[in-house]
Amino acid sequence: MTVGLGLLLELTSRLPRAGASSASASAAVSSHAGLSAAAFSSSGVPLSARHLFGFPGFNVAHCDAGTTAGLNGVSDLVDDLNTKIRDSIQYARKDYTQYPTKEYPSELKPLFSAFGLKNFTITTLRSFLLYYLPLIQPKPHTDSEDEDDDLLQDTPQEQPVDLVTPFHKSVKQIIRETSIVTTRRVLERIVVLHVSERTAWKLLKDASKSAKRKAARGMSTPHYTFCVARTTFRAHALGVAAAWVVQSIIEVYRCFIRKPSEDDQPSDQQFEDMNKFRLFGRKIYGITVKSSFCLVLASVGAGIGALLHPVHGQWFGCALGDVAGPVVAIIVFEKMQWPL
């Protein structure tokens, strides 16, 4: 419409006029109107809306080709915004490639893994060796003078070696260890169902593999020892809790269900006089203290052992601290003269 108006004014300016002044005025007006119309046509703003964009009369503020009146900085702003968005997306992709989101896979072992061929065989051999090796002790060598003196005296009769009692103890030890492992598998499933995924992963992950991954990060020695000890503390907590549960069930049987045997006749009167619940409370207190020492010393031993070797050192230090926990607890409480 604006272009048509400009052409119409241009045609009228070419018509003959009465005077030169009027012709020159018409030419000036027509040229000014043509320029204004061209400017408005290039800006894309209709004449009826020129007052909204700051165009009073025929005064045009932006008459460059391809420029939008009043919005000449929008294209640069859009380009900058697109550039920032593109850079952010590329940075996010690069950051995800270098540091991907940490996943927490929870690998649950079979519920009855303690009864597998390999695990059950190792448990059986360890239990029988624990109680039968003390029976294979060589007799101390005696001198010739002592032998002459022994001939003068009556030789005492040799007592037969008791093989039944170590067998019963070995069977009990096998039942105890398999019960602890099975209880731990049950606790693992309870943890997976009732705690967050991140916490479950920390309680179920392999401490030896975690120590190997930490060794590859180039940590300082104190920081590495602390991280391995903390990881072992979390990973070993379920095992200690399972042992506490099994031992507590055994104490319930001993205090409330089992009758005193004939070997316990000297303490039979004391057992009858003492409150059973107080006795059970003392037993649970002792089990809790020993379990706490096991967990702490296993973590410390794992942190120190990982300095020698990330995998084998961590495992050996954890096992050594777990075995030494009850012994250290008894020694400390005896030195402090505290009941245990």
Q: Are 299 and 229 in contact (CB under 8 A)?
A: yes
Give the model's pLDDT for residue 58.
45
User: Which band of pLDDT confidence, cut at 50, 70 and 90, is reported for residue 68?
Assistant: very low
User: Which band of pLDDT confidence, cut at 50, 70 and 90, is reported for residue 103?
Assistant: low
Higher pLDDT, 78 or 225: 225
Residue 237 has pLDDT above 90, yes or no: yes
Share of the chain above pLDDT 70, in %: 61
Burial grade of 222 (CB within 10 A; 0-12, 13-18, 19 or more)? exposed
Q: What value does the mean pLDDT of the chain take?
A: 75
User: Which band of pLDDT confidence, cut at 50, 70 and 90, is reported for residue 21?
Assistant: very low
User: Which band of pLDDT confidence, cut at 50, 70 and 90, is reported for residue 133?
Assistant: confident
Residue 183 has pLDDT above 90, yes or no: yes
Give the model's pLDDT for residue 97.
54
Residue 136 has pLDDT above 50, yes or no: yes
Residue 34 has pLDDT above 80, yes or no: no
Give the model's pLDDT for residue 319.
92
Give the model's pLDDT for residue 264.
52
